[in-house]
Amino acid sequence: MKQKITLKKIAKEFGVSISTVSKALKDSHEISLEVKERIQAFAKYYHYKPNSLALNLRNQKTKTIGVIIPEIVHHFFTKVITGIEKLANDKGYNVMICLSNESYEKEVLNLEMLANGVVDGIIVSVAKETEEKDDYRHFSELINNGIPLVMFDRVVDQMNCNKVIADDKGGAFLATEQLFKNGCNKIALITTPDYVTVGRERKEGYFKALKEHNMAINEDHIIEVDEKLSIEEQLSTLFQGDSIPDGIFAVNEIYAATVMKVARNFGFHVPDDIEVIGFTNGLISEFTTPSLTTVAQHGRTMGQKALELLLDEIDTQDPEYQYKTHLIKTDLKIRNSTKKVQFQN
Amino acid sequence: MKQKITLKKIAKEFGVSISTVSKALKDSHEISLEVKERIQAFAKYYHYKPNSLALNLRNQKTKTIGVIIPEIVHHFFTKVITGIEKLANDKGYNVMICLSNESYEKEVLNLEMLANGVVDGIIVSVAKETEEKDDYRHFSELINNGIPLVMFDRVVDQMNCNKVIADDKGGAFLATEQLFKNGCNKIALITTPDYVTVGRERKEGYFKALKEHNMAINEDHIIEVDEKLSIEEQLSTLFQGDSIPDGIFAVNEIYAATVMKVARNFGFHVPDDIEVIGFTNGLISEFTTPSLTTVAQHGRTMGQKALELLLDEIDTQDPEYQYKTHLIKTDLKIRNSTKKVQFQN
DNA sequence: TTTTATTACGAAAACGTTAAAGTGCATTTT
DNA sequence: AAAATGCACTTTAACGTTTTCGTAATAAAA
């Protein structure tokens, strides 16, 4: 194995001190032109590169930012990462991705590891289990230790840090509103248990739209999916009662795609009998039959904004630095699971 | 901001030397029980954790491994990462994920960055542009520098390193064979340009199956998709000639899902008129109508095996260490885009 | 009583880098 | 001629850790 070239080795080669070499390579005026040129040529020839580990230790920073996400097999999160990665690269930062797998314990472990000097700042989307436990001390401690933290998508309201969230409520409202506009008046909601913040927000948007149309909330039309059980079975109840919905808003793509499948099995046609709108503009939506109308979340933008805020905090000297919560707007991507509206007002 | 606690600070607190503290925390027999207990209690109280950067520098290793993938918005790669991450975690390693975005230049940059002491080893799947350029010097140099490297999925045959590949040829053969078995005899292939190694391998498997059935290769039935153009348009040609296929094997999920859409637009029914099999067991396959029969690739297993090989190489002292190429078997996941076979032989 | 162990700690080097401060010599200024 | 300046380096400290080696003081063995 070829040994790595270091300042020390170059110094020995030229019979000068290490700092002479360091300065020569930085083109310092303290070093004579002749020496500089010879050292630079030598360093170039041997592909000298300052050792990152040494620099990290000296500078007390790593030019690396950490990202903790609950799941990587999830189109939305990969989109966010794409956004983070792109900007990070432009700014000379590396990205370290950790998976919490929706587990509280793993989130804590990841956080501890990253906090230990490994990264200059952290971007995180909270694990479901953590939301369920409602225990956020690991984040508070991080903030107390002065490590910049940005939360995105699944954020903790009371946490004192920068946040980026999609306009979940607005998007849900938009979706429900669209269903009304298309003539539906028995609109069902398929959502997650309430401890999932985004699910809660989307439900709020759905309620808001119902209210604006003076519709009462029909509990039979609201399914809180328990992912430990069969999703299809839970959704089947929608099509068995005496009040079968004519519109369905699902808080994610999988639920939306699954409910279309179930509806078809019950003999209903989408969008003629039932219209469906999902959340998250993932890959599946385009390939279902019919393709799914969704609320687009702009994951890339979200990732980019999160990193922007993080770098902002890392770079700031301002002792009065104020944390922001940035809202990413959502909008409808109309496909074929909703009817084409002929006369729009 | 709370200052990080270090050995130095603890030493000052107790009026002892740094090395005493270090030894005390390591429960060394050189230190008296009393001093040890006091120091340990103090350290515990203040959550002392050795600074990773310092350890990295001292040990000349980081307990981190780097992964370079072409795309993260890709179910297969996320599966692989899941596999890597899981095992890495069990073994006390961190994972640093870099994206090449299929770009040669970014791959080189990522490699340089990682090679510079940041990671103990690298797992990589080669970017398309690199395969096209056919320039692998950055990898050779890495190997020359003694940095452990494992290639997966898109590997470079001539590279002297550990490799993990899916049995692409075998899987493609299996798929084509299945179509024959179901009664197809005009089987089309939708593939990538030849420089993509996996596409080439899968084509080989397709050819092999054709040969075994004494079928000639019909160039009209082979579409090499150029991703810069419209995929749908390129696929349309399949349904316009005088020899319309009754079976289609596509080398990935997107092509398979898209060709089903196009076929439907041309009035054909899948699987009654045309049967379709895709490659990669992604998310889309389950939600298309009909759901897609695919060749499952076992991404997780692949990631796990890649990391296993990497750690093997990192840990080995053996100067005669032999590189291996591990083949991950593929198998068919039958869904509804192929006919149910009634009488299997 | 002298030598040898043992105990319990400290000093220093090492990982590779940077930057402030120091040094010896030549040149310029007063 | 003395003082100040400039040049081209070197020395040293620092980042935080581990580990080898050294060394006082005490205790045990000769």
**Chain B hits for A95, Cβ within 8 Å:** 96-98
Task: Report CA torsion sign: A45, A46, A49, A54.
Answer: negative
pLDDT at residue B1 in the model = 61
Taking the CA of residue B116 and the C1' sugar atom of nucleotide D20, their distance in angstroms comes to 29
**What do you get for the CA distance between the two ends of chain B, in Å?**
73
Tell me which chain A residue has its CA closest to the CA of residue B264: A289
**Residue pLDDT, tens place only, B148-167:** 999 999 999 999 999 999 99
**Chain A hits for B144, Cβ within 8 Å:** 2
Residue by residue, DSSP assigns A153-210 as: SS--TT--SEEEEE-HHHHHHHHHHHHHHTT--SEEEEE--TTSHHHHHHHHHHHHHH
- Which bases of strand D have any atom within 7 Å of the beta carbon of a protein residue? 7-12, 14-22
pLDDT at residue B214 in the model = 95
Are A75 and B73 in contact (CB < 8 Å)? yes
Taking the CA of residue A58 and the C1' sugar atom of nucleotide D14, their distance in angstroms comes to 8
pLDDT at residue B296 in the model = 95
Of the partner residues A51, A106, A144, the one whose CB lies closest to the CB of residue B2: A144
Mean pLDDT of B323-340: 94
Angstrom distance (rounded) from CA B121 to CA B94? 11
Report which of residues 59-88 in chain A place their beta carbon less than 7 angstroms from any atom of strand D: 60
pLDDT at residue B4 in the model = 87
pLDDT at residue B344 in the model = 45
Mean pLDDT of chain A: 94
Of the partner residues B60, B89, B97, the one whose CB lies closest to the CB of residue A97: B97
Q: Is the CB of A4 under 7 A from strand C?
A: yes
pLDDT at residue A340 in the model = 78
**Residue pLDDT, tens place only, B163-208:** 999 999 999 999 999 999 999 999 999 999 999 888 999 999 999 9
Q: Which two tokens stand for residue B86?
A: 């899981």
pLDDT at residue B341 in the model = 65
Mean pLDDT of B139-155: 96
**Chain B hits for A96, Cβ within 8 Å:** 64, 94-97
- For each successive 10 residues of chain A (345 residues), what is the average pLDDT? 87 96 96 96 96 96 96 94 96 94 96 94 97 97 95 96 97 97 96 92 96 94 94 95 93 95 95 95 90 96 98 91 96 93 52
Cα Rg of chain A (Å, integer): 27
Residue type, A167: D
Per the CB < 8 A criterion, the answer to whether B238 and B248 are in contact is: yes
Q: Is the CB of A58 under 7 A from strand C?
A: yes
Taking the CA of residue B120 and the C1' sugar atom of nucleotide C21, their distance in angstroms comes to 37
Mean pLDDT of B86-90: 95
Angstrom distance (rounded) from CA A16 to CA A21? 7
**Chain A hits for B89, Cβ within 8 Å:** 106
pLDDT at residue A272 in the model = 95
Of the partner residues A2, A57, A284, the one whose CB lies closest to the CB of residue B287: A284
Q: Which nt sits closest to A57, CA to C1'? A: D15
Q: Which two tokens stand for residue B127?
A: 């970017």
pTM for this prediction: 0.92
Task: Report CA torsion sign: B24, A141, A72, B139.
Answer: negative
pLDDT at residue B125 in the model = 98
pLDDT at residue B174 in the model = 96
Residue by residue, DSSP assigns B60-93 as: T--SEEEEEES-SSSHHHHHHHHHHHHHHHHTT-
Taking the CA of residue B26 and the C1' sugar atom of nucleotide D19, their distance in angstroms comes to 12
**Residue pLDDT, tens place only, A150-177:** 999 999 999 999 999 999 999 999 999 9
Mean pLDDT of B34-56: 96
Angstrom distance (rounded) from CA B15 to CA B3? 19
Mean pLDDT of chain B: 94
The total of other beta-carbon atoms located within 10 Å of residue A318's CB is 9
pLDDT at residue A281 in the model = 77
pLDDT at residue B345 in the model = 43
Q: Is the CB of B37 under 7 A from strand C?
A: no
pLDDT at residue A342 in the model = 55
Angstrom distance (rounded) from CA B40 to CA B45? 8
Are B94 and A97 in contact (CB < 8 Å)? no
- Which bases of strand C have any atom within 7 Å of the beta carbon of a protein residue? 7-21
Q: Is the CB of B52 under 7 A from strand D?
A: no
Angstrom distance (rounded) from CA B21 to CA A295? 57
Are B145 and A257 in contact (CB < 8 Å)? no
Cα Rg of chain B (Å, integer): 27
The total of other beta-carbon atoms located within 10 Å of residue B310's CB is 28
In the β-sheet with A325-328, what is the strand arrangement from edge to edge? A94-99, A64-69, A121-124, A149-152, A162-166, A325-328
Beta strands in chain B (DSSP E): 64-69, 94-99, 121-124, 149-152, 162-166, 187-191, 222-224, 247-250, 275-279, 293-296, 325-328, 331-333
